[in-house]
Structure 1
Amino acid sequence: MHKVFLNGDFVDADKASISPMDRGFLFGDGIYEVIPTYSTKPVGLGLHLARMNEGLKAVGIEYQADEAQWRKVIGDLVKQTDSDSQAVYIHISRGADKKRFHAYPKGIQPTVFAYAFDIAPSQDLQSKHTKTYHVTLAEDLRWQRCHIKSTSLLGNVMHFQQGQEAGKDEVILYNQQNEVTEAAACNVFIVKDGRIATPPLDNHLLPGITRRIAIDAIHKYTSLPVDERVVSLDELNEADEVWITSSSKELGPVLSIDDKKVGNGEPGKIWREAQEAYNKHKFNC
């Protein structure tokens, strides 16, 4: 039985328990992170924890994620198996109160939980081993604070389910102005005429760590231009390449949108260069 980390202790997963009065259960009142590791080495640990601390501050949960502490916890969790590709899920809720009441209670301790799970290996640049994606489109109907990585994910879950019911891997979302925001669980990049673009950060999309590492890596290791700007739905549909990015997917090439091929329907040469740059940079941040 694998162990999980709960409130400072490692316990068997089937014996870990959280009060039903925990606000994470009652309200989705918490912040989370998913940190990928390869051969036990975490990707972007400092960036993930900085985003977690910003989210905790934004929602008023009094907990400070310490990098040294979490590096050890993550190491202990992923060493339980021989898998080379794992991610660690960290979940900080506001904690359990004696009654259900919407306002933030005073004097309660946050609930701190983490566990490791297997993920796909790092993207292979050999096309026959590349993990690719087929997506559909939907109008973004989520709340207006998507920049906070909240555990309140029902809006994302419902959008992702749309994709599953359509037989697709993901759903790329757009706003009422027909501007791309993000996908249900990923950020989005497009390529047109050799130029890369991704929607700018605002309250309508998550500041993805993979997104950040990818942009930095492309700047550092290639001469490819990257624009953080508004991307229209028409641009998405006419793009030469489309990628979705996340901690578990890295840079995932999209081969079709609503059954229409993207480009020639194969992972593109710009993606290959960008993924190669990402591979060089992912353990250096």
Structure 2
Amino acid sequence: MSRIVYVNGEYLPEEEAKISIFDRGFLMADGVYEVTSVLDGKLVDFEGHIARLARSLHELEMASPATTEELLEIHRELVRRNRIDEGMVYLQITRGNPGDRDFVYPDPHNVPSTIVLFTQSKPGLADSPLAKTGMKVITIPDIRWGRRDIKTIQLLYPSMGKMMARHKGADDAWMVEDGAVTEGTSNNAYIVVGQTIITRELSSDILHGITRAAVLRFAAEAQMEVVERPFTVEEAKAADEAFVTSATTFVMPVVEIDGTQIGDGAPGPVSTRLREIYIEESRIDAI
């Protein structure tokens, strides 16, 4: 059965989906996106993702083509039509098709935003084998633009970072600026020293992760100490544990940085417990 996608108000087989070559998402990377995980056929952290979407749209002066209620219905309908039990729903909104290429924004009253959604089935999302062994990461310079808090579709450098990691036999890359880790290519980064979780504070330097917010809330409820500050690569290599969070990896342990083993080289108790809590609570709260 062909996958059903959503494009500008229509549910279509994926092979029939079309976007204009003049769409500013294609020409300018002028768009934003969100990825919502699906567990047991339900949406995880949907409200958080839609709130961040609204913020991204506002920061870029871009019009939303749908209400929160409409977006929820579209997400649920795609999950239903594509029979997704575990996986994700990808949502992208661009500034639309002005009919030609121009650096100047088109008038949003005359050019509607483009909206696209599709699903990806990922059986075993909650029971990832990588969570049992842990990730290996490398470090690379962070040369992205200065508004990383906006979840735009400008993903070339993060994609390059993942390929740099692959070429070195690693799973991902952590980006470094002024000696301190900012974040992973598609995730927020953490270390654990003793029983203290350390992660960079929110600013325009990093994406305001929805999974990050939930995990830090669960950590506080579990009486774990959390310190929000930058940490260096040297601190990370000397830490007892390290991990990342994202919508599709949940809490994923990191066991090696630039070839240096972290702790005893296996997923530690803090990251392992946080992953358990996050998945348990997500199953309960998913809609």
Distance in 2 between residues matched to 1:239 and 1:129, nearest whole Å:
18
Question: Aligned residue for 2:166?
Answer: 164
Asked if residue 114 in structure 1 is aligned to residue 143 in structure 2, the reply is no
Q: Does the CA contact (< 8 Å) of 2:251 and 2:275 recur in 1?
A: yes
Give the TM-score normalised by structure 1: 0.94
What is the rounded CA distance, in whole Å, between the counterparts of 2:231 and 2:151 in structure 1?
22
Cα distance change, pair 70–97 in 1 and its aligned pair in 2 (3 A)? same
Partner of 2:216: 215
Letter in 1 for 2:255: L
Amino acid at match of 2:237: N
Aligned to 1:173: 175
Percent pairwise identity: 29
Give structure 1 stretches of 5+ with no counterpart.
none
Q: CA deviation at 1:174?
A: 1.0
1:265 aligns with 2:265: yes
Residue of structure 2 equivalent to 1:8: 9
- Equivalent residue runs for 1:170-249 within 5 Å: 170-175=172-177, 177-220=178-221, 222-249=222-249
Between Structure 1 and Structure 2, how many residues are aligned? 282
Q: What is the RMSD of the two structures over their aligned residues, measured on CA atoms?
A: 1.8
The correspondence for 1:134, drawn from 119, 128, 136, is 136
User: Does the 8 A contact of 2:201 with 2:230 survive in 1?
Assistant: yes
Q: Find the residue that maps to 1:79 and give its secondary structure.
A: helix
Change (3 A) 1:40 1:131: farther
> 2:157 matched to which residue of 1?
155
Shift of residue 167, structure 1, vs aligned partner: 1.8
Q: Does 1:86 pair with 2:103?
A: no
Q: How far off is 1:284 after superposition?
A: 3.2
SS where residue 70 of structure 1 aligns? Answer: helix
Deviation at 1:129, TM superposition (A): 6.8
* Gap regions ≥5 residues in structure 2: none
Using the TM superposition, name which of 3-12 and 252-261 deviates more.
252-261
Mapped contact 1:92–1:113 kept (Cα < 8 A): yes
- Tell me, yes or no, if the aligned pair for 1:21 and 1:96 is still in contact at 8 Å: yes
Shift of 1:271: 1.3
1:7-46 matched pairs, under 5 angstroms: 7-46=8-47
CA distance in 2 between counterparts of 1:148 and 1:131 reads 32
Matched letter for residue 272 of structure 2: R
Post-superposition Cα deviations, 1:94-153, rounded to whole Å, max 9, x if no partner, equal 00012211010111010000000023534449x897362111111111111111000111
Which stretch has the larger CA shift, 71-80 or 236-245? 71-80
Q: Any conservation in 2 of the 1:52–1:65 contact (CA below 8 Å)?
A: no
